[in-house]
Structure 1
Amino acid sequence: MPKRVSFQHSRRPSLSRVRGAVVAAGLGTSMVLGAGAAFAVGTASSGHASLAGNSAAESVAKQAAVQAKAAKSVKGVVAEKAAVKKTAAKRLADWKTPVSNYVLSACFGNDGARWAHKHSGQDFAVPIGTKVEAAHSGTVVKAGPNGGGDGSAYGNAIVISHGNGTYSQYAHLSQINVHIGQSVKTGEKIALSGNTGNSSGPHLHFEIRTTPNYGSAINPVSFLHKEGVMV
C-alpha cells in the first residue's frame, strides 16, 4: 500500500495576534514619544520657573539695597544730630562765667574818667571774697600783684592760656590761689574777688585776650555768647 504522506502546514500567526502586536508596538512608540514630550515640556517649564525665580530674587535684592541705603542715610542723620548735640553740650561745659550771683556793671568799650582808655573787659559786681573760677581749662601764665605784670591798675590779677590764641584775665582780686605754670580746669577755684588796684568798688574785672598781654582784649560777653554761655 502506498504510504500516506502527511503534510504539516506551518502555523501562521492569526490575524488578531498580528494586529495586537502592531497595536502594542504603536502604543509603545506613543508612550516613548509621550514621555519625551513630557520631559521636554517639564524642562521648559523648569527653565521658565528658574528665570521667574531669578527675576524675583533680583527684585528683592534691589529693594533690600534701597532700604539699606535709606536706613544708612537715616542713621547718618541721627548720628550727626547726636554729634551736634554732644558738641553743644561739651561747649556749654567747657566755658562758663568766672563768678556766680553777679550784677553786670562796666562793660567792654565803655568810656569814662576811671580809665585811661576804653574799658577793656566786663566787670562783674560781687562782694569781696566771692569765689572766682577758671572760665575754661588751661595753664596759668600770669599771677600776682601789679596786674601780674600788666600794671598796677589791675591790682592782683591772673591770666590763663587756653590755647589757640585765647587767654582769660581776672583782676582786682583779694586773694590768688594759683601759680604760674599750673594747669586748671573749667570751674576750678583760682582766686577770691576783691577791690585792689584802680577800682571804685568790689568787683571782678574779666577779659578775653588774643595774647597774654594788655592791649589785646576782645569783647568777653560776645565771646562767651559764641561759646554758648549766657551772661
Structure 2
Amino acid sequence: MPKITTHRIRENLRLRTRVATVAAAGVTASVVLTGAAVAADGNPADVYAAHTVSDLVGTVGGERTGEPAGEPAGASTEKTTEREPAAEAEPTAEDWVAPIDGDYELSATYGNSGDRWTAKHSGQDFAVPTGTEVQSVHGGTVVKAGGNGAGDGPAYGNAVVIEHDDGTFTQYAHLSEVDVAAGDRVETGERIALSGNTGNSSGPHLHFEVRTSAEYGTAIDPMEFLRAENAKV
C-alpha cells in the first residue's frame, strides 16, 4: 500500500475544497465522476475523499438535499405503531370470579322478601339471556347436578352445586343446560352450564348461592362473600 505523504494529504484537501465548490455551483455530474475516480485509486485517503464527495453531492449551502418527498429535512422516518391492548390474565387456582364472565345486571339480591319466594331470597340473581355461559366461581368438585334443583326442589329448575377446596359450596340454578355431573372436578372459570328460565323463574337469569353445606337452607350473602375474596362482581 502506498504511503500517505504530506503532499498527498494536501492534494486530498484541495480535492475536497474543489468538490464542495462544484457541488455548490450545481454541477452534480462532475462531482460524481470526480468521486468515482478518487475511489478507484484504492488509497485509504482517497476512499475517505470519495466518501466526502458522496456526502457533498446532496449538500448545497450547508443544507442536506435529496430528502424523501413530503418530509422536512432531517425528519425521522420511524413509523409509530399502536400497541395491542393487554389481554386480561387468566384466573389462577387461588382466584374467585363472578359466575357470569360478561355483561349482566344484578336483579333480586340476597335477603329480598316478596311473594315470589316462600322465604327471603337465598341468593343473588344475575339477569342474562337464556344460553349465557355459567362458570364455576372457584375450583372444586361437583356434588349435585341435574333437574329438580339437583335435589333441592323444583323451584330451582336445573341446578348445579359445587364443593370448593375451602369447604364452601356454591349453587347455580334455573339453568337451560347442565354441562357437568356429580363427581366432576372443575377449575376456576370453567364453564359448567348455560343460564335459563327453568323452575320458579319470572324471566331468564342465573340464581347463584354461596352455602356452608350442599343443602338448601345454609345460604349466606353471596356478594359479600365474593367481594371478600376479591372477585370482580
For 1:196 and 1:136, locate their aligned partners in 2 and report how far apart those are by CA, in whole Å. Answer: 24
Structure with higher Rg: it is 1
User: More helix by proportion, 1 or 2?
Assistant: 1
For 1:144 and 1:93, locate their aligned partners in 2 and report how far apart those are by CA, in whole Å. Answer: 27
Correspondence for 1:97: 98
Contact in 2 for aligned 1:157/1:171 (Cα 8 Å): yes
Correspondence for 2:200: 198
For 2:154 and 2:147, locate their aligned partners in 1 and report how far apart those are by CA, in whole Å. Answer: 7
- Secondary structure in 2 matching 1:124: strand
Q: Cα distance, 1:94 vs. partner?
A: 1.6
Q: Cα distance, 1:192 vs. partner?
A: 0.3
For 2:163 and 2:93, locate their aligned partners in 1 and report how far apart those are by CA, in whole Å. Answer: 19
Aligned residues: 143
Correspondence for 1:227: 229
Contact in 2 for aligned 1:91/1:228 (Cα 8 Å): no
Aligned AA for 1:98? Answer: P
Matched, 1:142 2:139: no
What whole-Å deviation, never above 9, does each CA across 1:174-217 have from its counterpart, x for those lacking one? Answer: 00000000000001010000000000000000000000000000
Contact in 2 for aligned 1:92/1:227 (Cα 8 Å): no
For 2:189 and 2:91, locate their aligned partners in 1 and report how far apart those are by CA, in whole Å. Answer: 14
Q: Report the TM-score, using the length of structure 1 for normalisation.
A: 0.60
For 2:104 and 2:91, locate their aligned partners in 1 and report how far apart those are by CA, in whole Å. Answer: 24
Correspondence for 1:116: 118
Q: Cα distance, 1:159 vs. partner?
A: 0.1
Matched, 1:209 2:224: no
Aligned AA for 1:172? Answer: H
Root-mean-square deviation (CA, aligned residues, Å) is 1.6
Correspondence for 2:67: none
Q: Report the TM-score, using the length of structure 2 for normalisation.
A: 0.59
Q: Cα distance, 1:163 vs. partner?
A: 3.0
Q: Cα distance, 1:90 vs. partner?
A: 7.8
Correspondence for 2:186: 184
| Unmatched tracts of structure 2, length 5 or more | 1-89
For 2:232 and 2:191, locate their aligned partners in 1 and report how far apart those are by CA, in whole Å. Answer: 20
Matched, 1:170 2:172: yes
Contact in 2 for aligned 1:123/1:205 (Cα 8 Å): yes
Distance 1:215 1:91, change over 3 A: farther
What whole-Å deviation, never above 9, does each CA across 1:97-143 have from its counterpart, x for those lacking one? Answer: 01021000000000000000000000000000000000000000000
Q: Cα distance, 1:164 vs. partner?
A: 3.2
Task: Give the 4+ runs in structure 1 shifted more than 4 A.
Answer: 89-93
Aligned AA for 1:129? Answer: G
Aligned AA for 1:96? Answer: V
| Unmatched tracts of structure 1, length 5 or more | 1-88
